[in-house]
Amino acid sequence: MLSFIYRILVSLHRRLTRSRHSGIPVISVGNITVGGTGKTPVVMKIIKDIGFRTPVAVVSRGYGRKTFRMKKVGLRDSYRYTGDEPLLIKKNFPGALVIAAKNRYRGSLFAAENGAGAVILDDGFQSWEIERDLEIVLINALSPFGGGKILPSGRLREPLSALKRADLIVVTKCNYVTARRMEEIKGRIRCYAPSSGIFYAREKVRSFGKIFDKDERPAEFFEGRKAICFSAVGDNRSFHSLLEQYGLDIIEKIEKIDHYRWKENEIKKIVERSKALGLDLITTEKDAVKLLSFEPFECWYTKMETEISEEKKWKEKIYEVIS
């Protein structure tokens, strides 16, 4: 019953919202399920792919921030006022215009007024207020269809039939499932989105960095080492699986819900435990930006990136929009 009500409310919201174009190309990266599909790494890949062709801006809601006002993200900002993902993107691409805005249309207008040649919407699939030139939907291979039920009974934000709106569908986290499972996922996608382009994405560790200094090590550095890992992302288990694929021996896993705000006393206890056991301490890059205001401590974070299948074809689809 609650799922039915939620579905009706989503439908009404879409019908009552006026959609407008911001005047510059808009690429939306979103999903049909709640969290954990790897949107931010894909957004950052698109910035790399198109940033040399046109000034690019990212417009994100900035989930969990303290203010609802539109915010141009700066390198020295606190995640509390920008959201963790916008600040993470800004730190990786200092030259990019990153905007935290609940209304994506207004955020995109601001981007256009400030010289952007294209806009990427972070988590934009349900942003009805703005027209998109390219709709990209991500599906997590580990949990592709949200249990088949709409919120709150399942994890779907919309019915699976909404996939037909997607121009491109990217199945992410493919390095954690079998080829047979990938074929099953593709077959089901084709039932709902017969004409959408389908790509496959793998996660990889680019390197490891330290939160409070500039020390950086290659991905293979932690092979055979033992560590405590803590994370608060949409899919904690894939983070751990990725590290294990690089040979890390995770002795203890500390997991919180996505966007969780770590308390300094919590982190102190984790640090003390890692020291007592003689273990490395590792977290995600998304969590790292939330710890910068804490008293410095010894901790590594993973610098991740996404590889997408048929790279040439993928880039051609992106370039068509901004050319």
Residues with Cβ within 8 Å of 170's Cβ and at least 6 positions away in sequence, in order, are 42, 136, 137, 138, 139, 198, 199, 200, 201, 308
Q: What is the pLDDT of residue 265?
A: 96
Beta strands in the chain (DSSP E): 26-31, 56-60, 71-72, 97-100, 118-122, 134-140, 168-172, 197-210, 216-218, 226-231, 249-255, 280-284, 300-308
Domain positions in the chain: 2-203+307-322, 204-304
Tens of pLDDT along the chain (323 residues)?
Answer: 666 666 776 777 667 677 899 999 999 999 999 978 999 999 999 999 998 899 999 999 999 898 889 999 999 999 999 999 999 999 999 999 999 999 999 999 999 999 999 999 999 999 999 999 999 999 999 999 988 888 888 889 999 999 999 999 999 999 999 999 999 999 999 999 999 999 999 999 999 999 999 899 999 999 999 999 999 999 999 999 999 999 999 999 999 999 999 999 999 999 999 999 999 999 999 999 999 999 999 999 999 999 999 999 999 999 999 97
What DSSP line would sit under 66-84, residue for residue?
S--S-EE--TT--HHHH-H
Which helix (H) or strand (E) is 317 found in, with range? helix 311-322
Q: What is the pLDDT of residue 52?
A: 85
Q: How many CB atoms lie within 10 A of CB 90?
A: 24
Q: What is the pLDDT of residue 19?
A: 85
2-203+307-322 domain in CATH 3.50.40.10? no
- Main-chain phi, psi angles of 97, to 5 degrees: -85, 120
Dump pLDDT digits (tens) for 73-125: 999 999 999 999 999 999 999 999 999 999 999 999 999 999 999 999 999 99
Short-list 23, 10, 45, 57, CA closest to 168: 45
